[in-house]
Amino acid sequence: MKAFIFALAVACVAAVPYGDVDLAESQRIVDGIIENWISRAQLRLSPFDPIVNNEYAGGWHLPGGENILKVRGSVEGVNAAGFSTFELDSISYNLFTGQLHLSLSLNSVSASIDAAEGEVQIFDRKLTADASGGIAVSDVRVRAGAIVAVGVDGYSVRNVELELSIGEINSEIQLNLFGREVGGRISDFLNKLPYNLEKYQSQVSRVLEYLSEYIINRLLSRPSDAQ
């Protein structure tokens, strides 16, 4: 999501002319375009939020080798809510310095399943797994900044700054993976994640900043369909 928002913001910046335009007005245009795209994303997600008691099932096998590799799975009682309620708290772009800053938040999101099972068959061996439970996440906040550079070859970003915080995670997951119960360990890891994000904030930010800058610049360097 963070890389997507940055890429979107840079694309909006690219849409603004750099000729004889009023600086303040151009900055307002960029802010308005990004805010509009965020609103459109929320509108597209809102018809699916919440997901209530859905069921899914499917399978796959190696083409021409059904007895070599086969996978099947099903899930019942799928519930999820809150994933369309993210907010753009602030956005600012300075055409003169190229500095872009934005802040996003998500008050709460939750998901649960009543039952899920899966099976992988490799030759005569079958590996099975089953799961149930849910997770609730609250007070997710992302603050981001970057410098958008304009060159003869197009646009790029540098000096990306990212800070991610999560208020609380409540996870109760039961997962039996190939005959071994691992749900408790996963829930314990997730429940401690907000604390660990805060404890190792500087290191987490450096990793996220590196990945985001790499992904965004890769996306920006792709040739257009017309080329």
Per-residue confidence in pLDDT tens, the chain, 227 aa: 545 555 555 555 555 554 444 556 656 666 666 677 777 777 888 888 888 888 999 999 999 888 899 999 999 999 999 888 888 888 877 777 778 888 889 899 999 999 999 999 999 899 999 999 999 999 999 998 888 776 666 677 888 899 999 999 999 999 999 889 999 999 999 999 999 999 999 999 999 999 988 888 887 776 654 44
Residue 183, domain member (yes or no): yes
Residue 29 lies in a domain: yes
Confirm if 80 and 111 have CB atoms less than 8 A apart.
yes
Total structural domains within the chain: 1
Would you give the DSSP letter of residue 64? Answer: T
Range of the domain at 132: 2-221
pTM over 0.85: no
Residue 174 makes CB contacts below 8 A (sequence gap 6+) with: 131, 132, 133, 181, 183
The rounded distance, in Å, linking the Cα atoms of 184 and 161 is 34
Q: In angstroms, what CA-CA distances link 24 with 16, 30, 175?
A: 12, 10, 54
Domain assignment of residue 226, yes or no: no
Residue owning tokens 């609730």: 136
90, part of any domain: yes
Task: Quote the CA–CA distance of 99 and 159 in Å, as a whole number.
Answer: 9
Instruction: For residues 4 and 154, give the distance between their C-alpha atoms in angstroms, rounded to a whole number.
Output: 18
